[in-house]
A and B are shown apart, each in its own frame.
Chain A
Amino acid sequence: MAKNSRLSLASASDENYTFCWRVFCAWDYLIGNPEAAESKGAACVAQSTTSGAVLISLRILANILVLLSLAGSIYIIYFVVDRSQRLEQEKPELTLWEKNEVSVVVSLITMIAPSAFELVSQLEMYHPRTSLRFQLARVLVLYLGNLYSLIIALLDKVNSMSSAIPVSSGNWSDSTTFLATIALPEEDGLSTVAPDAAERQNGTFLLGQEANRTRGATPVFLNQTALYGYNMRTPQDPCWETYVGQEMLKLSIIDMIFTVLSILLIDFIRGLLVRYLSDCWCWDLESKFPEYGEFKIAENVLHLIYNQGMIWMGAFFSPCLPAFNVLKLIGLMYLRSWAVLTCNVPHQQVFRASRSNNFYLAMLLFMLFLCMLPTIFAIVKYRPSQHCGPFSMLIYYLQAIARSLKVTNNQLRMQLQTGRYCGVTAALLCPPTARLQDTEGGDKKPDPEGHVTGVESCVRSGSPRRNSSVSGFESPERQGGGGAGGGVRTITQSAARPGPNRAQPGPTGPNRAFGASRSPSTPSVTQEHREEHTPNRHPGHPGGASGSCRSKSHHRVAYSPSCRHADSVHSDPLFRKSFRPAPREASGLAAAPCRFHTTRYVILNERDAPKQLLRSNARTPRRYHADELVDIVELCPRSVRRFPSPGPAPGPGPAPPPPRQRYQPHLDEEEEEEEEDEEERRRRRWRDAFASAQSHRPRSLSDLHQPPRPLHRADSGPPNPRGPPHWSRDEGPRHQAAPSLTESDSDSVASSSDQQHSSTDQYIQVIHYKDKGPRARGKPAKPEPKAGARLNVSEPNELFCSNV
């Protein structure tokens, strides 16, 4: 290339010696016959005489004609592709012509148009070399336009087909025709192996079809292609790459056929006619009209470039096309070399090939670039087929995974935003914010995932440190939605795994907690509960959450997306509320406690008034939830230990306090307000839970449950045997005095149920708060607790995190 450009530059001229050249170089000394001489003379005259204006107008006319023909060819190709699509849809059986229409039209255009351009260029009266350059440029533009319009039309067709309704079986045979059309050239024997191979690449179902694609075994075709057609016709057109690849292969084959035919007809037969008919013809055929064919070097080179462009476009869709093309080119080379030696005469104008080498190489590079563009566009824009091709599963699978993750992320986020508050986690992690945020209560979703999410989000939102520790959950929950759901799910799932342990009594506190935490695995379990109290789906989860709080450390990884999704809606908001930091008022910290309550609730009573619990949760202030969460979370470890102790003492009164007291030291730092709120809520929930749990309290936890009940409300509800109820009563004023959120606790309509719930919850909480209770009582001052609570909140979080 460098040498060529050096030569070109050496001969390149900046100055224009048009007239000189016209004088000195116009005559071709090779001209030997008079007619040629005359025409040459006339050409010289014409060149010299034609005035500028006429010349320019002639040239403009010629250019317009060329542009019209280019536009026409592009339109024809698009029209033909469109027509073939319509034919497929309308007619069950396509004729041979209709099947191959597109390729035949494209090949015809590539054969005829260059000659037309040559005729037109005679109008322009350019210097032969200039006119040759124009000719080459026009032919190249024509080829590029053809290829582009073909591929764009095909891709458009694919697009429209994929969006079209699946056609009837009648159209299946159309798809068979695709195969049939491929088979036909094979039958012609021109390229038997390559198309098969090409098709083989294109799809799994093509394999079977190829095997069956005997030469002309139409019935077999129909069978296979029916299947293929069916696949072709399903929405999204599962094998559109196959179709495009087939079309490109068809084009290559038919182009080869046409080239061979043109060589034979235009050069060989013409040579024969001129040689043997000129004796008996009116005029001298050899020198006048037909003459011998000339070997047009430039146009042949362009045809090679066009061939290459075709291959580059189709290679992605039909991987065997390059191999077939190699065979085709080898065959064509031998055929042409024979034809040149026997049929052609040298070009009148000696072709300075050396000078144009760089031009052709540059054209080749340009063609490569342009032909890559549609392929890359198709790769990027269109989805790969689902059922065939090497990219189907991989890409789609990844996409599906990514999509599902995104969906879960969003769901979690939504849940968090709507505010499901899981008391435990919320309280633990973001007590102040938890309180503030428990507004929504509306998240009645007994969603373990949501719950867990809430927990996690709370954990996360509580502090950055937490986040790091709760890494497992963080990412999803941060968004609040789906992502957290995922993480939460794991936790809940892991937590829920021990689900069966729920049945166990208190002594299996840890188990219980785990059971609660196992809510996810329990999606089934909790589901059961849920079914009973639909809104209280959370119960399982909250418990799970609480357990998960603990289990988080253990079960971070376990993730059950399913549960999450199921519950996410309800639980998440709660959780979120509970976990949101202070600024996020609307968040579902309340949700967290709610969830927690529900979880606990489930643990204790399986199905005890999850609705009630939820309701109470909804109403309970976030802070309460947060408190609960905090308590619960914090207490979880201890409660585990503690459980055995209070277990045997179902009485609400006596049992709870001791544990609380035990916990007190830990809880000293906790906020009393939180405790108050939480206790309110807990009371309510216990009440509800207890009420519902009354019916079924096979588990030992019921013992635990019962005592708290009385704690909830002194006013109503089941007896609160244990201290907790009394304690709560005592705390009542304090609770009410506590920040506004407490009031909401007392608003619970289903007081009794709430009581039950709260009792249930309280029970658990009592367990957790064993230390808290007395402490709370002992410290009426709010500011301190608040401040301390905040710190405490963080601490529990920290603690929690550390556990985790």
Chain B
Amino acid sequence: MGNKQTIFTDEQLDAYQDCTFFTRKEILRIHGRYHELAPHLVPMDYTNEPDVTLPLALIVNMPELKENPFKNRIVESFSEDGLGNQSFNDFVDMFSVLSEMAPRELKAIYAFKIYDFNTDNYICKEDLEKTLNKLTKEELSAEEVNLVCEKSIVEADLDGDNKLSFADFENMIARAPDFLSTFHIRI
């Protein structure tokens, strides 16, 4: 297939390459995926930068995200309005951060955002409980959940405010051996 494509201008593609960790081909492929989520909504020609967003419901049905317990939070974290309506830029951004090439620090930022359910920039105990419940599909008893959350906060909380700030979270997650491997979506 030739290099001639009409979806994006060259400058746009260059911009995407600069801002994300994808190559031209991957960006085009991702656009194709974005398009097939809602073909009637997503134009094939993005040269004039249409303002199209896809709702959360569409995006979370992607096979890559379907089985993820945190899919809603993921999509919400990468949407501008915080409700999960993603433009193509958000879409690309999301997969870029979740890709293999993204650095640990960047992933930690967004992981923190994802696990911060109440978006108060702190992972409090409730956030932890929600995280755990989503993780275990609520098969744990309340005591166990409580126990795990308590222990987690005890472990990671450095400033003693009974919640995890981004600094605590990052400190903890930096030492996680398999954070990078688990916080990874391949598209």
State the A residues within 8 Å of B (CB): 11-13, 15-34, 36-37, 41, 44-45, 48-49, 127-129, 349-350, 352
* A27 engages B69 (CB within 8 Å): yes
Q: How far is the CA of A414 from the CA of B143 in the complex (A)?
A: 91
User: Residues 144-176 of chain B: 1 if any A CB is under 8 Å from the residue's CB, otherwise 0?
Assistant: 100011011001100000000000010011111
Closest to B186 in A: A30
Contact of B68 among A13, A29, A45, A49 (CB under 8 A): A29
Contact B66 A20 (CB under 8 A): no
Q: Nearest Cβ distance between residue B178 and chain A, in whole angstroms?
A: 6
- Residue contact A349 to B181, C-beta cutoff 8 Å: yes
Q: A32-B63, A32-B67, A45-B139 are in contact. Are A20 and B144 (CB under 8 A)?
A: no
Q: A129 contacts B152, CB within 8 Å?
A: no
Tell whether B75 is near chain A: CB-to-CB under 8 Å. Answer: no
Is B137 in contact with A41, judged by CB distance below 8 angstroms?
Answer: yes
Please state if B140 and A25 are interface contacts (CB–CB under 8 Å). Answer: no
Q: Which residues of B contact A19 (CB under 8 A)?
A: 148, 151-152, 155
Contact of B139 among A20, A24, A32, A41 (CB under 8 A): A41
Shortest distance between the CB of B180 and any CB in chain A (Å)? 8
Residue of B nearest to A37 (CB): B67
B96 smallest CB distance to A (angstroms): 14
- Some 26 contacts from A to B, beta carbons below 8 A apart, are A11-B174, A17-B172, A18-B151, A21-B178, A22-B148, A23-B135, A23-B152, A24-B131, A25-B182, A27-B69, A27-B182, A29-B182, A30-B186, A31-B68, A32-B64, A32-B66, A34-B67, A41-B69, A44-B135, A44-B136, A45-B137, A48-B148, A127-B177, A129-B178, A350-B100, A352-B180
- Distance A48 CA – B146 CA, assembled complex (angstroms): 11
Shortest CB distance A8–B (Å): 10
**B172–A350 CB distance below 8 A:** no
A33 to B68, CA, bound (A): 10
* B117-135 interface (Cβ within 8 A of A): 128, 131-132, 135
Chain A residue nearest in CB terms to B62: A32
Decide if A17 touches B136 in the complex (CB within 8 Å).
no
Q: Which of B132, B175, B186 contacts A11 (CB 8 A)?
A: B175
Identify B155's interface contact among A15, A25, A44, CB under 8 A. Answer: A15
- CB within 8 Å for A33 and B172 given contacts A16-B155, A28-B182: no
Give residues 38-77 of B contacting A (CB, 8 Å). 63-64, 66-70
Given A48-B148, A352-B181; 8 other pairs, CB 8 A cutoff = A19-B148, A27-B69, A27-B135, A32-B63, A44-B136, A45-B140, A350-B180, A352-B180
Q: Give the size of the chain B interface in residues (CB under 8 angstroms).
A: 42
Contact A29 B183 (CB under 8 A): yes
Task: Knowing A19-B148, A45-B139, say if A27 contacts B128 (CB, 8 Å).
Answer: no
Chain B, interface SS category: helix
- Per CB-CB distance, the 10 closest pairs between chain A and chain B, nearest first, are A13-B175, A37-B67, A350-B181, A19-B151, A19-B152, A45-B136, A20-B152, A20-B156, A28-B182, A45-B139
B111 sits at the interface (CB 8 A)? yes
A33 touches B67 (CB 8 A): yes
Q: Indicate if the CB atoms of B175 and A17 lie closer than 8 Å.
A: yes
Interface-central residue, B132, B137, B155, B177, by most chain A CB under 10 Å: B177
Contacts of A49 in B (CB 8 A): 140, 144
Q: Let me know if A21 and B151 touch, CB within 8 A.
A: no
Chain B residues with Cβ under 8 A from A16's Cβ?
155
| Pair B136/A41 contact, Cβ less than 8 Å | yes
Contact A25 B178 (CB under 8 A): yes
Known: A41-B137, A48-B140, A49-B144. A24 touches B173 (CB 8 A): yes
User: Given A30-B184, A45-B136, A36 and B172 touching (CB < 8 A)?
Assistant: no
Q: Are A24 and B155 in contact (CB under 8 A)?
A: no
| CB nearest neighbor in B for A29 | B185
**Please, how many angstroms separate the alpha-carbon atoms of A352 and B177 in the complex?**
9
User: Chain A: which residue is nearest B123 at the CB level?
Assistant: A24
Chain A residues near B183 (CB, 8 Å)?
25, 29
In the complex, which of the residues A25, A31, A48, A352 contacts B132, with contact meaning CB atoms closer than 8 Å? A48
A28 CA / B176 CA spacing, docked (Å): 13
A352 partner residues in chain B, CB cutoff 8 A: 177, 180-181
Smallest distance from the beta carbon of A198 to chain B beta carbons, Å? 44
Q: Which residue of B has the minimal Cβ distance to A21?
A: B176
Instruction: Establish whether residues B132 and A23, one from each chain, have CB atoms under 8 Å apart when the complex forms.
Output: yes
Nearest chain B CB to A135 CB, angstrom units: 15
B127 CB, min distance to chain A CBs, angstroms:
10
Is B115 part of the binding interface, using a Cβ–Cβ cutoff of 8 Å? yes
Q: A349 near B178 (CB under 8 angstroms)?
A: yes
User: In the assembly, what is the distance between CA of A128 and CA of B152, in Å?
Assistant: 19
Distance in angstroms from B143 CB to nearest chain A CB is 10
Residues of A close to B173: CB separation below 8 A:
20, 24-25
- The residue of chain A having its C-beta at the shortest distance from the C-beta of B64 within the complex is A32
Q: A28-B182, A352-B181 are in contact. Are A20 and B68 (CB under 8 A)?
A: no
Instruction: Please indicate the chain A residues that have their CB under 8 angstroms from the CB of B115 in the complex.
Output: 24
Nearest to B115 among chain A residues (CB) is A24
Q: How far is the CA of A373 from the CA of B150 in the complex (A)?
A: 52
A24 touches B179 (CB 8 A): yes
Q: Does B92 contact A (CB under 8 A)?
A: no
* Distance of B131 from chain A, by nearest CB (Å): 6
Contact between A128 and B178, CB atoms less than 8 A apart: yes
B144 touches which of A13, A25, A41, A48 (Cβ 8 Å): A48
Complex CA–CA separation, A759 to B68 (angstroms): 122
Q: How far is the CA of A49 from the CA of B149 in the complex (A)?
A: 13
Chain A nearest Cβ from B112, distance in angstroms: 9
CB interface residues, B 1-53, toward A, < 8 Å:
none
Q: In the assembled complex, how far is the CB of residue A54 from the closest CB belonging to chain B, in whole angstroms?
A: 14
Return the contact of A20 from the options B63, B70, B137, B172 (Cβ within 8 A): B172
Bound: A41/B69 CA distance, A: 10
Most A CB contacts (10 A, CB to CB) among B131, B140, B156, B169 go to: B156
Given A27-B70, A44-B136, A349-B181, residue A15 in contact with residue B148 (CB < 8 A): no
Inter-chain contacts of B135 with A (CB < 8 A): 23, 26-27, 41, 44
Which B residues lie within 8 Å of A29 (CB)?
Answer: 68, 98, 182-185
Which residues 100-119 in B have Cβ within 8 Å of A in the complex?
100, 111, 115
Asked whether B175 lies within 8 Å of A350 as measured between CB atoms, the reply is: no
Contacts of A15 in B (CB 8 A): 155, 175
Report whether A36 and B67 are in contact in the complex, using a CB–CB cutoff of 8 Å: yes
In the bound complex, residues from chain A placing their C-beta under 8 Å from that of B152 are 17, 19-20, 22-23
Which of B68, B182, B186: most chain A CB closer than 10 A? B182
State A763–B160 Cα separation when bound (angstroms). Answer: 118
B148 near A350 (CB under 8 angstroms)? no
Chain A residues whose CB sits within 8 angstroms of the CB of B177 once the complex forms: 11, 21, 127, 129, 352
Instruction: List B contacts of A25 (CB < 8 A).
Output: 173, 176, 178-179, 182-183
Q: How far is the CA of A32 from the CA of B185 in the complex (A)?
A: 9
Chain B nearest Cβ from A33, distance in angstroms: 7
Query: Which of B149, B155, B185 is close to A30, meaning CB atoms less than 8 Å apart?
Result: B185
A447 to B2, CA, bound (A): 108
Which residue of chain A has its CB nearest to the CB of B150?
A19
Cα–Cα, bound, A11→B180 (Å):
12
Q: Given A19-B148, A24-B173, A48-B132, are A31 and B67 also a contact pair (CB < 8 Å)?
A: yes
A48-B132, A49-B144 known; A26 and B182 CB under 8 Å? Answer: yes
Q: Which residue of B lies closest to A33 (CB)?
A: B67
Contact between A17 and B67, CB atoms less than 8 A apart? no
Distance, CA A18 to CA B178, complexed state (A): 12
Residues of B within 8 A of A24 (CB): 111, 115, 131, 169, 172-173, 176, 179
**Chain A residues with CB below 8 A from B69, complex form:** 27, 41
State A486–B152 Cα separation when bound (angstroms): 86
Q: How far is the CA of A627 from the CA of B148 in the complex (A)?
A: 105
When distances are taken between beta carbons in the complex, the residues of chain A under 8 Å from B131 are 23-24
Establish whether residues A27 and B132, one from each chain, have CB atoms under 8 Å apart when the complex forms.
no
Could you tell me the distance between the alpha carbons of A319 and B103 in the complex, rounded to whole angstroms?
50
Residues in A whose Cβ lies below 8 Å from that of B181: 28, 349-350, 352
Give the docked Cα–Cα distance between A22 and B177 (Å). 11
